Structure 1
Amino acid sequence: MSDNKDDNNKRKLNVFRLILLITLLAALTFGGVAIGMVVASVKDLPDLSVEAIDYNASTLIFDQNEKLITKIGTQNRVLVDLQEVPEIVRKAFLATEDVRFYQHCGIDFRGIARAAWQNITSGSIQEGASTITQQVIRDLYLTQDRNFKRKIQEIILAIQLERKLSKDEILELYLNRIYFGEGAYGIQAAAETYFGKDINELGLKEGAFLAGLPQAPSAYSPYQNKDLALKRRNIVLGNMLKYNFINKNDYDEAVNKNLGTLDSPASEQYPYPYYIDYVTEQLVEKYGEEQVFKGGLRVYIAVDHKIQTIAEEVLANDQNLPTKDIQGAVVILDPHTGYIKALVGGREHTQKRQLNRATQIYRQPGSTFKPIIAYAPAIEFKGMGPASVIDDIPINIEGWSPNNSDGSYRGLITMRTALTNSVNIAAVKLLQQVTAPEAKKFARKLGITSLDPKHDVGLSMALGGLYKGVTPLELAGAYGAFANQGIYIKPTAIIRVEKFDKTVLEDTSHPKQQIAMKPTTAYLMTDMMQSVINYGTGKKARLDRPVAGKTGTTDKNIDTWFAGYTPELVGIVWVGYDTNKQTYHYGGDYPAIIWRKIMSKALEDVPRKDFPSKPNGITTATVDSKSGLLPGPNTPPDHLVTDKFVTGTVPNKHDNTHVLVEVCATSGKLVNNYCPDRITKIMLKLPYTVPYYVKDYEQRVPTSICNLHGPGTSSENGYNQNNGKLHNLDKLQDLFDKIKKNKKED
């Protein structure tokens, strides 16, 4: 009996030991596995580098008044300080995501216990207990995979992060990084996307809506399911009431309001696209794409909203151009600061960073290049001026015979007349006197950097015949120097660049100034280019205020330009086809009209003022318009011209070109001993001959002697009394010989 009792006790003891042993083995196994998982997790643990956090923040672009214009970046994200986020909005996120955020050490053990029980009972990971700190860790350093290894790493890193950053810094990081749907990353972008507001303008109902989005941004989007979005917002409001973040009155008021979101997400299309594209290219070139598209830079630009809008509208209007498929470009800048007020690189903008004709295309400048390469250098280096005289006659230079656009030759004309009427021969002769190397040095001082050292060496440069060409922006900078009394300032779009922490990377508020020419040269050029507008090829650009400028048209009318300025603004307009098709128009036509329409609206509220008064070193004198010398004893009144000179360049010699000549009243040639009727007249004597089609040909001293009169000729009609037809035939033969000679010279 006792033996049976002992056997039963032994059996019971063995069962107890067995259960204990199994439990112990299970614990050891589980512990071993757990330790193994922890070891494996620690072994592959990412480096927690707070300094290297990639915020992937958009660059913000502001105008001069610090008004936000647009954002550029790989993600629609705008970084904000936590203090900019209203407290009620922060509470909405805490009530939804991590109510004990300010109490735990990065891990909420109560939440873990709840989630663990749910996951064990379901047999899979169904619920997380991630704190805000853990979510930041997962977003920055880990994947979204649901496994125990990732969870262990998340816990370890969360605890480490709490030791490196304050609670406010972690919350700020979280709010700036989470995705809210509709392409919005971070709470500022979300506020703009859904409400069209800055984050500091949001209240309770907006904050509750945003706090409900991160769990399932697409599902809770008001643009996908408005009812579900409203239900989710009200759940957040309920949590806020539950955790005493708001009172019952606040809850009742907010829960009965509609969402208040925009009818559609705020558009990501940026304004002033060609200007912004140019700014983007400048930033990328200087700071690199990584910094520009992810670094959260703050960029302040010189764009003038009014002028930019006007320029875009005028250029896009089909009525301002000859055809719908023709293209154009406009640049408007302030010559006194170099700030680009408007920049339009085409008539329509269809994609980001597309071809920008204002900054990226190089086109032949035509006659707009004459002031830069010929006229101003002649004044600067050769002591010439508006009253200097050039003979506009056919020329041949090493086989090259340039001609004037209208096919005519004016003869002896002043530089002012030549520029006013865009006379090609005059520009070529001026460049020939200055020499190409000296002229190119001068052009480079005006910011013309596109000249090719090997190919741009000939006199065709005087007519804008360049190997590569110029951009409208480049030309605007050059004309800015004329408008700025000879001081060149590089055209500037970007005024200041800052890092997210307000560290200044670049500041052009005091732009570098370079003396490009003497003030006297700039003054005389402006004075002459006013004549272009008032009397010459630029008449269609006239305003009710002073304007100076120059038209430009290339061979076959492929490129047409107008370059002009007022005392306040410089404007360049280019019109042409991308395919180099002929336009059948010229620079004084559509480009001048477009320029006038833009400038008249841009300056409509600006008081009229004159160009700067003449600088020291300018004087006035009267000279002979056919020789450029002081009037001589034979200078006729209609050949007197009063104009401006640089002091010291007024000629000290008197005209000897006008001479008294006795000519036959019948033939117009030099008299012989038999000419019955003789006229003494003032004519122009030069050491060379010109073709009969030069406009002042009849004013020049004849080079031949009368052959109508001789022994036995009649004093009445000059006919030979014996053979009245003979001398008429001689006259015809003389005219025929003259035509043959002129054709040979031409």
Structure 2
Amino acid sequence: MIRFLVIIFSLFLLLVVLGGGSSLFVLWRFGRDLPDYKQLADYRPAVMTRVHAGNGSLIGEFARERRLFVPTTAIPRLVIDAFLSAEDKTFYSHPGIDFAGIATALFRNVWNVMDGGKRRPVGASTITQQVAKNFLLTNEISIARKIKEAILAFRIENAFSKDRILELYLNEIYLGIGSYGVAAAALNYFDKSLDELTLEETAYLAALPKAPNNYHPIRNRKAAKERRNWVLRQMADNSVISPLDAKRASARVLLMRRPDPTRIFEAGYFAEEVRRELLEKYGENRLYEDGLSVRTTVEPALQAIADQELRAGLAAYDRRHGWRGPLTRIKVTDDWLTALGKVPIPKGIGNWYTAVVLKLNAEKAEIGFSNGIEGGIPLKQLIWARPWRKGERVGPRVRRPSDVLNVGDVVAVAAVPKTDKSYHPGYYSLQQIPAINGGLVAIDPHTGRVLAMSGGYSYEASQFNRATQAMRQPGSAFKPFVYAAALENGFTPSSLVLDGPFVIDKGRGQGKWKPANYTKRFYGPSTLRLGIEKSRNLMTVRLANYIGMDKVVDYANRFGIMEDMPPLLPMALGAGETTLLKLTTAYAMLVNGGKRVVPTLIDRIQDRRGRTVFRHDARDCPGCVSSGWHGQVTPQIADLRQQIIEPGTAYQVVSMLEGVVQRGTGIRIKVIRKPLAGKTGTTNKNRDTWFMGFSPDLAVGVYIGFDNPRSLGRRETGSSVAVPVFRDFMARALAKRPAIPFRIPPSIQLVRIAGETGLPAGPNERHVVLEAFKPGTVPNNSGPVLDGTLAAEAINTSKRAGTGGLY
């Protein structure tokens, strides 16, 4: 008997030794080349960057993987319990491997094989093992990988807390339809945050980790519901919920609700400009993976107005210059629906429809849509479509639909609104995507915050941002800065300058430079105010020549309009190149009293943990942080803005630009009946048109021109093209704001001046203006007229530039 016991003990000891040796060998063999699990301590899952408007509206998301990082402390307990019930109910008690689960799975799988293999094999991977596989290993199906997974699971359990392991798992796991992590899945499947999920929705998400594509709630509805109900039963078995709650939730329909695309406010050009700025500031990895939360300056209400009015202005110009033809042509047969369905929808068509012309008669064009519905375009909606001619001219008047359209033409149309006199059910208007383009920028002049930015007719059609990327000549919109330089060098708004011929010999063999006014006329001695109100080129050139182009260059630099501007006289007429954003910012610095502001699209940036990593307004304000009002002294924040010109000079320019709206080239804006000021700009051969202006608290710039510069046509100037856009934008933007007058510096003296002579006005004087003067500069009698006798040659004979501004 003793001998038998010795044999049994020896065999047992041998098995232990062999087992221990085998285990050590396995650990040595598979554990020596394993990835370093300690890297998980510094693991930061790739999280999308989200960009918000000033009011909190979402305007953009940038990511390689659509993941939202949520710490376990912020994840609802029900969500955690659902995933633990479905994936690893002993998570908080096992050491990384669930030995009981492995034994149970092994027994079930053996029984399944003996029963004919009708059921799928059962796994026993713990959440820790899944973390090891997802983060450190591949998806290879092999015994070796499972052994490595188990070894890593032990090591991870020894190195990290259970909550940290769970946090890694719930934020990394892929749950289908581009969703990484539970927070992203909640948004993509149900358009909800985690704390808004119902019990049945939570159970559904917990059903997805094994095979998300197999449980799609629409394509595989039956399997998805069965898997969800299984999770509910598991939760009830684990006493997470009651059996009654599980039964009720199982009876509910599985409904998927994708995120509403309209929850992202459309501000394509603005959002893309923010993306470029973030890319330059932080690099590609931080932008797409670091989960930044960006609060921008855009005001959705102003942005919507900007987009609408710019589109309307571009369309209005485009219609004035005729019909360029259909989108394409197809054969109209009995199968025209199929042919029309194959026509690609052009980018930039927006809310319009594509239709094919089926028949033509004297009253209308009969059209058909890809859904089989038919309608008509009445002649009244075709009158505008005179044929386009080279040079932005138009052909003969339209007298019948066949003058515009042919059977088989595929065109863009829009339903005739009920407010239109030609409205009739089933009637449509002919539309055309403009060939011209432009931009609009609105800025808070006191802070530089960009409140709206529209960089073109359609972001879908072209991502080129005409507000920030298009380098264009500003033309006469540059003139106020020449006048600002003059006002700080001995001139007043009532100083007289000769509006007469100006000729400079550019040198041997170079000919003569002879700038001219838009009207090709001369007006004799005129005040600076009149020169800017009527946009007189000859006065501006004579003024720049007298004060010196070096001063004009200095002011262009001060206002950030352009760097390294050559000191050539044509530059005084806006022959240099700048962007709409830079020029709008320069005008903002005029109306804010001559203080430097830097345009910004971003107010604040926070990292994934909510820490502020960037703030545009970097000023300290210790007294601004308070739990409430307790009668304390109002905090005073220091004004750190640099004074780039005298406040008095800035106001004098503003006052003269107000005259542009009241009496000059911007008179179409006067109908708004609120204090507004600004300047038109049109370049040589009418290639670029501008209006730059402001109210006391809003600076706005409008640029319109072709992407490949060419003439906009005869008589198309800043007054006819850009001014209407500015006017309509300001009318809506200021509709609910009080009429605030421009702020006058204490040093300024207002005097009634005769507009023609520049002298104090008598009692019966006509054309009187209230002029702004600095102390000691009010004229008592007629002063000298700047007529060019003291002019010095100021044009570089080695270079030749266009004349820039015209009107």
TM-score by length of structure 2 reads 0.73
Of 381, 385, 405, the match for 2:492: 385
Whole-angstrom CA distance in 1 between matches of 2:574 and 2:776: 31
Query: In 1, are the aligned partners of 2:191 and 2:258 still within 8 Å (CA)?
Result: no
Distance 1:642 1:309 in 2: 37
Q: Is the 8 A contact 1:196 1:266 kept in 2?
A: no
Name the residue aligned to 2:617.
509
Corresponding residue for 2:659?
A: 531
When structure 1 is superposed on structure 2, of 120-129 and 383-392 the one drifting more is 120-129
SS in structure 2 opposite 1:55?
A: coil
CA deviations on 1:37-66 (whole Å, 9 max, x unpaired) are: 432322211112134314110112223344
Q: Which moved more, 1:109-118 or 1:479-488?
A: 109-118
| Paired position in structure 1 for 2:146 | 151
Counterpart contact for 1:56–1:295, Cα < 8 Å:
yes
**Larger relative CO (CA 8 A, sep 6+): 1 or 2?**
2
C-alpha distance in structure 1 between counterparts of 2:783 and 2:465, whole Å: 53
The answer on whether the counterparts of 2:750 and 2:770 sit within 8 Å (CA) in structure 1 is no
Pair 1:134 & 2:244 matched: no
Whether contact under 8 Å (1:326, 1:577) holds in the other structure is yes
Paired with 2:493 and 2:305, the residues of 1 have a C-alpha distance of 35
1:571-627 deviation digits (Å, cap 9, x = unpaired) = 11111111112212211122111112222212222222111134324353657945x
Q: CA deviation at 1:569?
A: 0.8
Alignment of 1:665-680 (within 5 A): none
Partner of residue 596, structure 1: 727
Please say if 1:233 is aligned against 2:228.
yes
Distance in 2 between residues matched to 1:43 and 1:656, nearest whole Å: 94
For residue 413 of structure 2, what is the aligned residue in structure 1?
none
Once residues 560 and 746 of structure 2 are traced to their aligned partners in structure 1, the CA distance between those partners, rounded to angstroms, is 23
Q: Which residue of 2 aligns with 1:298?
A: 293
Which among 361, 376, 391 is matched to residue 470 of structure 2? 361
State the alpha-carbon separation in 1 of the partners of residues 27 and 109 from structure 2.
Answer: 19
Match of 1:42 in 2: 31
User: Is the 2:596–2:643 contact (alpha carbons within 8 Å) kept by the matching residues of 1?
Assistant: yes
TM-superposed deviation, 1:119: 6.9
SS in 2 for 1:485: coil
Cα deviation for residue 163 of structure 1 reads 3.3
The residue that corresponds to 1:741 in the other structure is none
Given candidates 314, 317, 320, the residue that maps to 1:321 is 317
Question: 1:641-688 deviations in whole A, cap 9, x for unaligned?
Answer: 76322113334665588xxxxxxxxxxxxxxxxxxxxxxxxxxx9898
Name 2:387's counterpart in structure 1.
none
Are the equivalent residues in 1 in contact too, given 2:55–2:299 (CA < 8 A)?
A: no
SS in 2 for 1:551: strand
Which residue, out of 273, 279, 289, partners 1:284?
A: 279
* Superimposed CA distance per residue, residues 415-435 of structure 1 (whole angstroms, 9 cap, x where no aligned partner): 111111111111112222232
In 2, the alpha carbon distance for the partners of 1:510 and 1:541 equals 37
Determine whether 1:643 maps to 2:776: no
Which letter does structure 1 place at the counterpart of 2:67?
A: R
Shift of the 174–640 alpha-carbon distance from structure 1 to 2, 3 Å rule, reads closer
Give the stretch that moved more between structures: 181-190 or 34-43.
Answer: 34-43
Residue among 548, 553, 568 paired with 1:458? 568
Against the structure 1 CA distance between its residues 687 and 262, is the aligned structure 2 distance closer, same or farther, given a 3 Å change threshold?
closer
Counterpart of 1:341?
451
| 2:88 aligned residue | 98
Amino acid at match of 2:578: V
AA partner of residue 431 (structure 1): A
Most deviating of 276-285 and 637-646: 637-646
| Alignment check: 8 A CA contact 1:98 1:131 kept | yes
TM-score (norm 1): 0.78
Cα distance in structure 2, aligned partners of 1:556 and 1:414: 27
Q: Which residue of 1 aligns with 2:415?
A: none
Q: Distance in 2 between matches of 1:279 and 1:593?
A: 28
Amino acid at match of 1:42: G
Counterpart-to-counterpart distance in 1, 2:485 and 2:123: 77
2-structure distance, mates of 1:603, 1:550? 19
After superposition, the Cα gap between the structure-2 partners of 1:608 and 1:572, relative to the gap in structure 1 and judged at 3 Å, is same
Q: Secondary structure at the match of 1:219?
A: helix
Alpha-carbon distance between aligned partners in 1 of 2:467 and 2:682, rounded to the nearest angstrom: 17
Aligned length: 633
Contact 1:387 1:416 in 2 (8 A): yes
Partner residue in 2 for 1:400: 513
Contact 1:320 1:594 in 2 (8 A): no
Is contact 1:300–1:497 with CA below 8 Å preserved after alignment? Answer: yes
Deviation at 1:26, TM superposition (A): 10
Check the 8 A contact 2:59/2:271 in 1, yes or no.
no
479-488 vs 156-165, which deviates more?
156-165
* Equivalent in 423, 428, 438 of residue 536 of structure 2: 423
Is 1:578 aligned to 2:567, yes or no?
A: no
TM-aligned CA distance change 1:656 to 1:284, over 3 Å: closer
- Which residue of the partner structure matches residue 689 of structure 2? 560
**Mapped contact 1:194–1:266 kept (Cα < 8 A):** no
8 Å contact from structure 1 (residues 89, 203) kept in 2: no
Per the alignment, residue 89 of structure 1 pairs with 79
| Bigger Rg, which one | 1
Q: Is the 8 A contact 2:754 2:766 kept in 1?
A: no
Distance 1:404 1:350 in 2: 40
CA gap of 1:306–1:268, structure 2 versus 1, over 3 A, is closer
Q: Secondary structure at the match of 2:681?
A: strand
Does residue 190 of structure 1 match 2:207? Answer: no
Equivalent residue number for residue 408 of structure 2: none
Q: Which deviations, in whole Å up to 9, do the C-alpha atoms of 1:296-317 show, x marking residues without a partner? A: 1111111101011111122233
Q: Which amino acid aligns with 1:562?
A: F
Alpha carbons of structure 1 residues 349 and 179: separation in structure 2 relative to 1, 3 Å: same
1:261 paired with 2:256, answer yes
Q: What is the CA–CA distance in structure 2 between the aligned matches of 1:574 and 1:539, rounded to whole Å?
A: 18
Cα displacement (A) at 1:165: 2.9
Q: Which residue of 1 aligns with 2:211?
A: 216
- Distance between the aligned counterparts of 2:554 and 2:228, measured in 1? 69
Shift of 1:263: 5.9
Shift of residue 171 of structure 1? 1.7
Over aligned residue pairs, what C-alpha RMSD do you find?
Answer: 3.2
Partner of 2:53: 63
Greater alpha carbon shift after TM alignment, 212-221 vs 567-576? 212-221
Say whether residues 1:311 and 2:317 are aligned partners.
Answer: no
Q: Which ranges in structure 2 are unaligned for 5 or more consecutive residues?
A: 320-433, 507-511, 620-639, 790-807
Report % sequence identity: 36
Task: Report Cα offsets for 1:694-728 as digits up to 9, x if no partner.
Answer: xxxxxxxxxxxxxxxxxxxxxxxxxxxxxxxxxxx
**Cα deviation, residue 68, structure 1:** 4.0
Displacement of 1:138: 1.7
The SS at the match of 1:608 is coil
User: Matched residue of 1:578: which SS?
Assistant: coil
Aligned to 2:244: 249
CA displacement at 1:249 relative to structure 2 = 1.8
SS at match of 2:82: helix
